[in-house]
Structure 1
Amino acid sequence: MENRQSITGDTLIEMGFKSGKWFKEALEHINENRLEGDALQEYLEQFKSPDPIRLHKSNIPFSINIKAENELEVTNVNSVVETMEVLMKTPTLVDGAIMPDACPTGSIGTIPVGGVAVAKNAIHPGMHSADICCSVMLTDFGTADPKDVLDAAQSITHFGPGGRDRNTQFRFPMDLLVEIEANYFLNDQKCISAARSHLGTQGDGNHFLFVGTSKKTGNTMLVTHHGSRGFGANLYAKGMKVAERFRKELSPETLKQNAWIPFETEEGAQYWEALQIVRRWTKKNHEVLHDAILEMLGIENENRFWNEHNFVFRDGDLFYHAKGATPLDKKFMPDITGPRLIPLNMSEPVLIVKGETTNSNLGFAPHGAGRNVSRTEHRKRKTGTFQEIFKEETEGLDVRFFSNEIDITELPSAYKNAETVRNQMKDFGLGEVIDEVLPYGCIMAGDWKKNAPWKKRRRDR
């Protein structure tokens, strides 16, 4: 009887297979059953790597709901369109749009702020970014004095890095904790610790607590703006790692920032559910602040609604990645209770809008005013002391910084012209303004880095 030479790992590699954990079990099966010829090929068929998924040869068309109205905006719009053209070559994408507040962020091919990218059966963590579910909530405080509301809010809210100490933490909802512990992406000590300590915190940057009055009713309104804090950032980091594993296997040509998790996998289902849990946490994060302020003032909530503008929304097998875009279509929001909110800057009204889905807006509106230049560039362009700039731009407003340090990159001049954004909303059919929250004042983080603990230690040395 002819001796048959054993098949080895080297044999499989010579046949074009990549070394993997499956080698050991497969080799045992092949050699025990003395597979060769067609029988060997048929058995190995299950281990063949799929052909790589190629980029679209040309970008998928997308709607441009923005126009440049001065020389500075020409550069911004061109940059946004250029990055979208690269982005829309990603294999999973089938549609896209950019809003009037669009501005580039990151390397070319990265979804811009004010961008919407629609993927089929795929979730792209890089297209919702680390600030998952950045959102706004409004509560109607009736006839309360705006100053009283702002004073109470200042004593309750929390800006800056990190979370609350144990003595000032809000009670954590046990039903939410159960959901977190049941999810593969969220059930670790780092995530759970952030979820607990960051509840009732607002972060930094453009996040704010805004008090104003309804143009229609005169009632005092409280609006908060923030995302999922460290809890969501942890999910994003894990999601990017899983997406990168799939990218290497499925589509190495795809840019790393545009890697995706196939929805029809166990990881995809778990990640989608994790996003919903983070969404519920973020809504609760707004609610605990609003409710605590109501309680301090002894006021009953007259109305409340909210919307995210940095999330992934699902419609069947399509996943709408909105990076700084407000959902108009109620199909995107399972808990819809009212119109949508679009803040512009601290000296302008928060817009209360409603709108219909069109082929060009894909069911979305802008999320704010956006920027034409970076924070660094804005600082370079300003002259005068921070105090002088602050006084000029906030005249008549009660503007406070939680860190007691002025951040001029959050003053009105740092943003696009609010009237331009409103005009383009009307021109492109991006929502109808049905009321406005006229500004009284706001609280923001401010330049918390100026007196950060590590800088104080450095100065002391």
Structure 2
Amino acid sequence: MKHIDTETLVSWGVPRLRNVIGPALKASNIALSRGTDPEAIASLVMRLTRSESPVSEPMGDLAELFAPLAGLLADVRAGRTFFSEREKPAPWKNWAKGDLEQGAVEQMRNACRLPIAAGGALMPDAHTGYGLPIGGVLAVRNAVIPYAVGVDIACRMRMTILEMPYERIHEESDRLAEALEAETRFGVGAAFGTAERRTHPVMSLDWSVTPPTRAQYAKAAAQLGTSGAGNHFVEFGKLSVAENIDEPSLKLKAGTYLALLSHSGSRGSGEAVAQYYSDLAKSLHPELPEELRHLAWLDLDSREGQEYWQAMELMGRYASANHELIHRHILEHLGVKALGHVENHHNFAWKESFGGEELIVHRKGATPAGAGVLGIVPGSMGTPGFIVRGKGNPESFCSCSHGAGRVMSRKAAFKTLKRETMDAILKERGIRLLSGPLDESPEVYKDIEQVIAAQADLIDTLARFEPKIVKMAPEEGTRPRWVKRKNANA
């Protein structure tokens, strides 16, 4: 070994902090240049990064070089919570029945082993994720876990109820489809062309608050008002309201309405923020066992924790702006007005009070369901979704499912399903798919009716939404219509 670089130090457990990495690089490379065995350097550095008292560790002949690093590591540890196995895990409750993956259960159990964990819940749409399962809720004390929020920070739902009568969907089908094609962009890297680029006050907020948000500003501006790939969608459908809705945020008389529903998040910017702070959290917790690495946390009292919280909230505003723009431009394209709307995040962390204690509640693929809080639980491109009202059940930390939940992986879907079968299912149900991947076929999801029934103690259903004209990212290798347009920017 001729040189020790940053990534080598991080692999040895040195936190990815500038004021620590610099001195660590200097000490390690001076020791290396003096002929010290690289394995001896690695052994010492790993011992220092894992020690509860780095300054007390014996350093022998390397003390002169590494004592300053030990002091810095001691400062990093001061006031922070580190992992140690607790006597028993924090309590958690399971609403997922039937075909529940064992991996999701193990991930929930592991999350409740964290010393910061106060409790958790597994929603009926749960399946295996990274760190915390999708459909997992985790309440912790004075910390935030980037991967428990999720890679797509502030992935969310928005539904707008239109003044246009639902009955016109048949005669106006082509015009509605054209509005979706013209006013949406889908997929990794998707953006509007210069002449069509969206604007919103969210881009006037302070994006310099953290390194990743500062670096992502230009990309965020280009992707404003767009959607990602996978299960992201924008669609028109039939909203059936059985009884009058008279809520502070939504008032609708019983009847049938045309509604616009969207699902997406904070795009590439949110992913960059998640990766940056997850890597940082991992580097601050070299003591975590492998199965808990994706649950590395940032103490909220620390500079890094405060930074992440600011970045997360900014990504929340950005994701909300994306949905607002999608809906505004589609309605303007059609020349129709809105009767009302409902929206909610389902990949986020909130400060909430339970039992008189403030906790940080992570909902990774879970919908807020506080008493009287409205939310949206979608199904799939071929199955219904619902407007729901939370009951404020503290056992679920006031949460419910964020969808139906997968029963088949994307890889398995492409191996076993056929496009013709998916098309036949949609045709039978009167659904027009403008574009969408095979791995989002209705067959890959749990029965949404059973999922809703499993959480009757968490939510009331106020309205039922049936997809009718659906737009999603096309499968890889196909070209969406907008690519061919004059001002399009792929």
TM-score normalised by L of structure 2: 0.75
Q: How far apart, CA to CA, are the structure 2 residues paired with 1:396 and 1:205?
A: 22
Which residue pairs with 1:66 in the alignment?
96
The alignment yields a C-alpha RMSD, in angstroms, of 3.1
Q: CA deviation at 1:445?
A: 1.1
Question: Which letter maps to 2:113?
Answer: K
Q: How far apart, CA to CA, are the structure 1 residues paired with 2:425 and 2:69?
A: 73
CA contact (8 A) 1:206 1:410 kept: yes
Which residue pairs with 2:176 in the alignment?
149
CA contact (8 A) 1:202 1:229 kept: yes
Q: CA deviation at 1:213?
A: 2.1
Query: Closer, same or farther in 2 for the Cα pair 1:423/1:320, shift >3 Å?
Result: same
**Bigger mean CA deviation after superposition, 442-451 or 275-284:** 442-451
Percent of matched pairs sharing the same residue: 26
CA contact (8 A) 2:88 2:113 kept: yes
Q: CA deviation at 1:240?
A: 1.0
Question: Which letter maps to 1:78?
Answer: Q
Q: How far apart, CA to CA, are the structure 2 residues paired with 1:272 and 1:305?
A: 25
2:474 to 425, 446, 450: 446
Q: Given the alignment of the two structures, is residue 94 of structure 1 paired with residue 118 of structure 2, yes or no?
A: yes
**Bigger mean CA deviation after superposition, 233-242 or 76-85:** 76-85
1:290 to 296, 321, 327: 327
Question: Which letter maps to 1:353?
Answer: V
Which residue pairs with 2:135 in the alignment?
114
**Bigger mean CA deviation after superposition, 429-438 or 147-156:** 147-156
Q: How far apart, CA to CA, are the structure 2 residues paired with 1:59 and 1:358?
A: 21
Q: Given the alignment of the two structures, is residue 419 of structure 1 paired with residue 456 of structure 2, yes or no?
A: no
Q: CA deviation at 1:388?
A: 4.0
1:105 to 97, 121, 129: 129
Query: Closer, same or farther in 2 for the Cα pair 1:77/1:360, shift >3 Å?
Result: farther
Q: How far apart, CA to CA, are the structure 2 residues paired with 1:200 and 1:213?
A: 24
Q: CA deviation at 1:152?
A: 1.0
The C-alpha deviation readout for 1:29-81, integer Å capped at 9, x for no partner, is: xxxxxxxxxxxxxxx9976956953132432220111221xxxx1xx343322
Which residue pairs with 2:428 in the alignment?
395
Which residue pairs with 2:203 in the alignment?
176
Q: CA deviation at 1:22?
A: 9.0
1:228 to 266, 276, 283: 266
1:167 to 191, 194, 198: 194
Moved over 6 A (4+): 17-22
Q: How far apart, CA to CA, are the structure 1 residues paired with 2:444 and 2:111?
A: 27
Q: Given the alignment of the two structures, is residue 324 of structure 1 paired with residue 348 of structure 2, yes or no?
A: no
Q: Given the alignment of the two structures, is residue 83 of structure 1 paired with residue 111 of structure 2, yes or no?
A: no
Q: How far apart, CA to CA, are the structure 1 residues paired with 2:125 and 2:462?
A: 20
CA contact (8 A) 1:54 1:253 kept: no
Which residue pairs with 1:363 in the alignment?
398
Q: CA deviation at 1:141?
A: 1.1
Q: How far apart, CA to CA, are the structure 1 residues paired with 2:362 and 2:55?
A: 42
Query: Closer, same or farther in 2 for the Cα pair 1:52/1:261, shift >3 Å?
Result: closer
Question: Which letter maps to 1:294?
Answer: L
Q: How far apart, CA to CA, are the structure 1 residues paired with 2:202 and 2:64?
A: 40
Question: Which letter maps to 2:230?
Answer: G
CA contact (8 A) 1:17 1:48 kept: no
CA contact (8 A) 1:156 1:289 kept: yes
CA contact (8 A) 1:401 1:445 kept: no
Q: CA deviation at 1:437?
A: 1.8
Aligned length: 401
Question: Which letter maps to 2:341?
Answer: R
**Bigger mean CA deviation after superposition, 226-235 or 173-182:** 173-182
Which residue pairs with 1:409 in the alignment?
439
Q: How far apart, CA to CA, are the structure 2 residues paired with 1:48 and 1:431?
A: 43
- Give the SS at the match of 2:420: helix
- Give the SS at the match of 2:206: helix
Q: How far apart, CA to CA, are the structure 1 residues paired with 2:55 and 2:182?
A: 69
Which residue pairs with 2:460 in the alignment?
432
Q: How far apart, CA to CA, are the structure 1 residues paired with 2:202 and 2:412?
A: 45
Which residue pairs with 2:19 in the alignment?
none
Query: Closer, same or farther in 2 for the Cα pair 1:394/1:84, shift >3 Å?
Result: farther
Query: Closer, same or farther in 2 for the Cα pair 1:45/1:195, shift >3 Å?
Result: closer
Structure 2 residues without counterparts, runs of 5 or longer = 1-30, 32-43, 45-52, 242-254, 481-490
The C-alpha deviation readout for 1:294-328, integer Å capped at 9, x for no partner, is: 11111122212200111111126411111100001
Q: Given the alignment of the two structures, is residue 349 of structure 1 paired with residue 376 of structure 2, yes or no?
A: no
Q: How far apart, CA to CA, are the structure 2 residues paired with 1:168 and 1:394?
A: 36
- Give the SS at the match of 1:112: strand
Query: Closer, same or farther in 2 for the Cα pair 1:394/1:343, shift >3 Å?
Result: farther
CA contact (8 A) 1:114 1:367 kept: yes
CA contact (8 A) 1:160 1:202 kept: yes
Query: Closer, same or farther in 2 for the Cα pair 1:52/1:442, shift >3 Å?
Result: closer
- Give the SS at the match of 1:290: helix
- Give the SS at the match of 1:416: coil
**Bigger mean CA deviation after superposition, 171-180 or 56-65:** 171-180
TM-score normalised by L of structure 1: 0.79
Q: How far apart, CA to CA, are the structure 2 residues paired with 1:149 and 1:48?
A: 56
**Bigger mean CA deviation after superposition, 414-423 or 388-397:** 388-397
- Give the SS at the match of 2:178: helix
- Give the SS at the match of 1:66: coil
Q: How far apart, CA to CA, are the structure 1 residues paired with 2:284 and 2:467?
A: 47
Question: Which letter maps to 2:90?
Answer: I
